[in-house]
């Protein structure tokens, strides 16, 4: 008898249930009934089958795919031999972790001296959540109410119990399914005969029930404490972009555009601390000590009042582009944000490559002239970031290079004008993977040679290429051990997101209820991205390699693994590599394309500017007293040039088109 079926990565199927047979399609039965797991092709041809159990009754009720391409089978066992060990009583919840071909990697019995049955399972961030029923009151079970209760437990990736919760009243409760309905909770469905405790409004003998549960969390608001009384009063707005730390761990997160921050939390003692940054300081006790219990506890009152030490103007702009494919459309996310302490407004000018044709934008431009778009923004509060989605038509000429630049105003009074400018260089391709990872600077050659100390900016791009709307997207990205977590900066993202930096250097972005349409329904809106930057540790040995791969989860599907980026830190770029490669960089030259002059935004900096043509030949090498005044290039021929700028403290690389 079959109970649960899922589709596999190769478009086939795998199902589970139980069997009393030991002939025909079935082999390996241990006695009585065994859990039966069967893998078939897309057309139903059996590729492999496994019998799991012992000499007594064993049944499987649920199978889910795991993140390592294996499977987790949930059911019960009455056996004490064969594949089964550690049975606690009449029958136990029995969990089997299988590899991709159905071999047992580990299994565990859970329960007490009475009857315990595993019914359904789901993935969590650090293991699995198991829905089961229990009539036990000992062993692994505590908190039992009466007769038969629901038992919801979290287990680790290797099967250790992390926490347990019990749901029920004085009569029978039974359940059949558990699913995540958002990244902050889950839904169970079943039936109940109780009228007390968690169960109420029963209409008769046995009612169907549906229950939504929020998982343990800690949250609060970072607010502008205008009167510095330490209390969030009416009219005091939330402040975005401020870091909060949770210990033990430590685990970090940022406040969103409303000033709200969130932590997923296991049970136990937690300390929540505001991390002072920039021009702000806290007006309240800088930390909270919290105990999160095991009853799906939510704490949402850990607020932090902050006040600015000065009125600072600092706005920034960046361009994030989706892949450009010959003959199709491409999308630019024009991201702008306020790093200062005062609310401001102004304009953003995008000069897009002349090969592109403007199609539409999510914000109507204030003006359009040639290949220049000007957008107006206002009431941009401290810490807030916004995006303008712009769609362009791409020419059919694969191989051409596109260069677009952006500038955000006001410039006058801005304390950091370097981040007021950005450029994007892309090559038109004939095909692409829409879920990928980029690093800037990419570096030289396949090893990505860059000099010690250069900061890395990572961008993860994703697209819903399925056949239905994606409700939730999660990106998991483990930061290389050679990078300094203390320098991590979350720069921008396409949709409302929360993020956590977990123990083990795992950076997790969560787009909860993103409702991302599939590409066939709305191609421009089917894209998204995240961008962050981080600096290397110092000192690093020469030829230290830094690798990075992201995993993108669309709802309940297995993760999409991106390409792996590679950078190699060296004292000096190998001469052969430096002379043969032109690389993109996050350092800006403007205007780009240029006619007579190029500028670098390095006011009052002295340095040497070296300009190389596309053969690697140095065509200009001059010493400049003030790099903010620019360099005359009117005598250069049309083409693409690489620039290397050496200051007393840094080396920058970029490129421009004349």
> Domains in the chain, ordered, with CATH?
2-214 (no CATH), 217-308 (2.60.40.10), 434-575 (2.60.40.740), 597-657 (2.60.40.10)
Q: Exposure of 203 by Cβ count < 10 A (0-12 exposed, 13-18 middle, 19+ buried)?
A: exposed
CA–CA dist 317, 408 (Å, integer): 6
Q: Is 498 within 8 Å of 446 (Cβ atoms)?
A: no
Return the pLDDT at 437.
93
pLDDT at 582: 37
Most confident of 108-122, 129-143, 579-593: 108-122
What letter would DSSP give residue 84? -
Token pair listed for 434? 């829409």
The tokens describing 500, both together, are 């956590």
Confirm if 405 and 351 have CB atoms less than 8 A apart. Answer: yes
3-state secondary structure 64-82: EECCCCCEEEEEEECCCCC
Using alpha carbons only, what angle is made at residue 564 by residues 454 and 583, rounded to the nearest 5 degrees?
Answer: 45
Chain center to CA of 101: 29
Question: Which tens digit of pLDDT belongs to each residue from 198-234?
Answer: 555 655 566 777 777 777 788 899 999 999 998 889 9
Render the burial of 495-513: b for 16+ CB within 10 Å, e for the rest: bebbbbbbeeebbbbbbbe
Beta strands 46-52 and 304-308 are unpaired
pLDDT interval class at 249 (50, 70, 90):
confident
Distance CA 365, CA 156 (A): 51
Cα(160)–Cα(175) distance, integer angstroms: 23
Which pLDDT score, from 0 to 100, does residue 131 have? 92
Q: Is the dihedral of CA 478, 388, 382, 182 positive or negative?
A: negative
What's the chain's length in residues?
A: 658
Say what the pLDDT of residue 83 is.
Answer: 95
| Portion of the chain with pLDDT greater than 70, in percent | 91
CB 93 within 8 A of CB 72: no
- Local structure of 580: helix, strand or coil: helix
Residues 6+ apart with CB under 8 A from 309: 279, 280, 281
| Percent residues over pLDDT 90 in the chain | 44
Distances (CA, A) of 378 to 344, 368, 386, 656: 6, 19, 11, 31
- The alpha carbon torsion through 238, 241, 244, 245 (nearest 10 deg) reads 170
Is the peptide bond preceding residue 238 cis, with omega within 30 degrees of 0? no
Q: Phi-psi bin for 86: left (phi > 0), alpha (psi -120 to 50), beta?
A: left
| pLDDT tens digits, 399-419 | 888 889 999 999 889 988 888
Lowest mean pLDDT among 329-333, 363-367, 423-427, 623-627: 623-627
List the structure tokens of 388.
């303008």
pLDDT at 504 over 60: yes
Structure confidence at residue 578 as a pLDDT band (50, 70, 90): very low
pTM for this entry: 0.63
Q: What is the mean pLDDT of residues 169-198?
A: 72
The pLDDT, as a whole number, for residue 651 is 67
Q: What was the pLDDT predicted at 617?
A: 67
What is the number of alpha carbons within 13 Å of residue 162 lying toward its C-beta? 19
Please give the mean pLDDT across all residues of the chain: 86
Strands 71-77, 58-65: parallel, antiparallel or unpaired by DSSP?
antiparallel
| DSSP 3-state of 555 | coil
Q: Give me the residue label for tokens 């053969």.
A: 615
């Amino acid at each position: 008898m079959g109970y649960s079926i899922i589709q596999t990565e190769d478009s086939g199927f795998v199902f589970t249930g139980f069997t009393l047979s030991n002939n025909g399609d079935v082999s390996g039965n241990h006695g009585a009934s065994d859990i039966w797991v069967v893998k078939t092709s897309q057309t139903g041809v059996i590729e492999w089958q496994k019998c799991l159990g012992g000499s007594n009754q064993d049944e499987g009720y649920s199978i889910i795919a795991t993140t390592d391409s294996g499977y987790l089978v949930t059911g019960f066992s009455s056996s004490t031999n064969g594949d089964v060990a550690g049975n606690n009583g009449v029958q136990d919840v029995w969990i089997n972790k299988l590899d991709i071909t159905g071999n047992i990697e580990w299994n565990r019995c859970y329960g007490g001296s009475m009857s315990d049955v595993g019914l359904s399972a789901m993935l969590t961030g650090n293991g699995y959540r198991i829905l089961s029923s229990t009539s036990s009151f000992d062993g692994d079970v505590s908190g039992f109410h009466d007769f038969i209760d629901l038992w919801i437990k979290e287990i680790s990736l290797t099967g250790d119990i992390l926490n347990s919760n019990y749901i029920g009243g004085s009569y029978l409760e039974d359940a059949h399914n558990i699913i995540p309905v958002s990244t902050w909770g889950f839904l169970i469905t079943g039936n109940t005969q109780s009228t007390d405790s968690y169960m109420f409004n029963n209409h008769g003998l046995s009612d169907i029930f549906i229950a939504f549960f929020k998982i343990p969390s800690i949250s609060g608001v970072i607010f502008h404490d205008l009167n510095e009384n330490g209390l969030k009063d009416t009219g005091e707005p939330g402040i975005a972009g401020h870091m909060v730390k949770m210990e033990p761990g430590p685990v970090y997160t940022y406040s969103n555009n409303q000033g709200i921050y969130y932590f997923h939390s296991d049970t136990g003692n937690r300390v929540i601390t505001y991390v002072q940054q920039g021009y702000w300081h806290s007006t309240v006790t800088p930390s909270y000590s919290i105990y999160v219990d095991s009853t799906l506890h939510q704490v949402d009152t850990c607020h932090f009042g902050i006040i600015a030490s000065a009125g600072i103007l600092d706005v920034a702009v960046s361009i994030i582009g989706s892949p450009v494919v010959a003959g199709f459309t491409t999308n630019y996310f024009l991201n702008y944000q306020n790093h200062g302490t005062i609310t401001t407004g102004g304009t953003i000018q995008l000069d897009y490559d002349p090969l592109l044709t403007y199609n539409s934008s999510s914000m109507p431009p204030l003006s359009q002239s040639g290949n220049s778009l000007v957008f107006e923004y206002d009431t941009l509060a401290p810490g807030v970031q916004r995006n303008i989605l712009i769609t362009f038509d791409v020419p059919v000429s694969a191989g051409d290079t596109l260069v677009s630049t952006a500038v955000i105003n006001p410039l006058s009074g801005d304390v950091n004008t370097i981040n007021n400018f950005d450029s994007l260089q892309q090559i038109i391709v004939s095909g692409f993977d829409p879920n990928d990872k980029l690093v800037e600077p990419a570096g030289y050659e396949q090893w990505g040679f860059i000099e010690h100390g250069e900061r890395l900016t990572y961008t993860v791009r994703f697209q819903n290429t399925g056949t239905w709307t994606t409700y939730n997207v999660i990106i998991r990205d483990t930061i290389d051990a050679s990078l300094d977590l203390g320098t991590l900066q979350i720069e921008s993202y396409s949709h409302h997101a929360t993020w956590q930096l977990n123990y083990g250097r795992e950076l997790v972005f969560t787009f909860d209820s993103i409702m991302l349409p599939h590409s066939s329904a709305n191609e421009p809106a089917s894209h998204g991205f995240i961008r962050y930057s981080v600096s290397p540790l110092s000192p690093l040995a020469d030829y230290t390699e830094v690798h990075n791969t992201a995993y993108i989860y669309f709802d309940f599907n297995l993760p999409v693994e991106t390409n792996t980026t590679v950078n190699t830190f060296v004292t000096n770029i190998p001469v052969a590599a430096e002379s043969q490669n032109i690389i993109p960089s996050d350092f800006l030259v403007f205007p780009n394309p240029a006619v007579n002059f190029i500028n670098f935004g390095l006011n009052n900096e002295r340095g040497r500017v070296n300009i190389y043509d596309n053969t690697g030949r140095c065509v200009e090498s001059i010493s400049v007293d003030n790099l903010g005044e620019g360099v005359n290039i009117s005598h250069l021929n049309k083409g693409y040039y690489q620039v290397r700028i050496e200051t007393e403290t840094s080396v920058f690389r970029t490129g421009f088109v004349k």
